[in-house]
Structure 1
Amino acid sequence: MTREVRAFAVTVLALATLGIGAGLLWSAVSPRAPYQVTERGLVLADISTQALIAADGWYAVITGGLGLLCGAAGWFAGRRWMLGVLAGLGVGGSAGAALTYWVGSTFTIGAATVEAAAAPGVKIVPGALALTANGVAVSWPLLAVGLFGLLEGMHGYRESPLRQPYGEDPLTGPAGGPLDGPGRG
């Protein structure tokens, strides 16, 4: 039981640590939406900008890719502690996705340039990163747990007696007769 808890804790900490790097990467590659400075505060300068959607897309690509990577690595490395690693993928993936959002929206990496047509004397500034499609926040844990389950299902089916046709014994062959081949019969 303590090994399962240890596998859970190590998995959660590893995925949360990856979330910090993923947030910095998201901040570096995502475009910033242009905002206009007014007396009421910041207002979206170009309502037809695709920067908001691009930020969601980059977040989904980065966290989804890490989810697939972590799911495969967790399945291959955690064969002895399946339940702890699987639970760690779900909780750690959620923590990593949350840290990715927090780090990416807090720190600006690289040049944050924006392009928008503005009237003379109007100041345009880059906006902070934010998710407009909140559903992409579950891509990391969903893909990690999903791939882990898929790999385990394929592995379990390969070793399953259900793969044998009905009425066939794997040791004696069809209809109880000896199998032909090297080392059998």
Structure 2
Amino acid sequence: MTREVRAFAVTVLTLAALGVAAGLLWSGLTPRAPYQVTEQGTVLADPTTQALIAADGWFAVITGGLGLLCGGVAWFAARRWMLPVLLGLCAGGVAAAFLTLWVGSTFTLGAVTVEASPALTAAGTKVVPGALHLTAKGVMVAWPLLAVGFFGLLEGMHGYRESPLREPYGGIGPV
């Protein structure tokens, strides 16, 4: 029982550590939307900007790619403890996605600013890059979904390849 708990914990903690690195990568790659500083606070300087959609896309690409990578590595590494590792992929993928969101929106690396249209900004207002956030919350499931799905796909292909049902008559000669 302790080996199963250890396999689960190692999987969750590994994915959580990858979530921090993914958050820093997301923060460094994603362009920032321009915001105007006004008396009421900060407002979006250019409502037609695609930077908000780009943040969702980069989040999905980074977490989805890491989910596929984690699912494949976990399947090859965990031949003895499949169920604890699979549950760890699910729980760790959720934790990693939340850590990626938190780290990426908290720390600013390489603030790439999207220029606001001069026609939309008032003269004399200050334009600053905005913080990252997700507008499409559904991309949060990319990491756990792709990790567990790819793990299951590899296990299904391996199980089919070694199945006696693959042979004619289920491995039993004709009657």
**1:120 aligns to 2:123 (yes or no):** yes
Check whether the contact 2:164–2:170 (CA below 8 A) recurs between aligned residues.
no
Amino acid at match of 2:35: Y
Asked if structure 2 preserves the Cα contact closer than 8 Å seen for 1:68 and 1:144, the reply is: yes
Structure showing greater relative contact order (alpha-carbon pairs closer than 8 Å, 6 or more residues apart) = 2
Secondary structure at the aligned position of 2:159 is classed as: helix
Tell me the distance in 2 between the aligned counterparts of 1:98 and 1:33. Answer: 21
Q: Distance in 1 between matches of 2:29 and 2:90?
A: 26
Q: Is the 8 A contact 1:22 1:63 kept in 2?
A: yes
Matched residues, percent identical?
Answer: 76
Change (3 A) 1:167 1:67: closer
Q: In the TM superposition, what are the counterparts of 1:1-185 in structure 2 within 5 Å?
A: 1-116=1-116, 117=118, 118-166=121-169, 169=172, 175=174
| SS of structure 2 residue aligned to 1:166 | helix
| Structure 1: runs of 5 or more not aligned | 177-185
Counterparts of 1:125 and 1:48 in 2: how far apart (Å)?
A: 16
Compute the TM-score of the two structures, normalised by the length of structure 1. 0.89
- Paired residue secondary structure (2:74): helix
RMSD: 1.3
The number of residues matched between the two structures is: 172
Q: Which has the higher helix share?
A: 2
Question: Aligned equivalents of 2:111 and 2:43: distance in 1?
Answer: 21
TM-score normalised by L of structure 2: 0.94
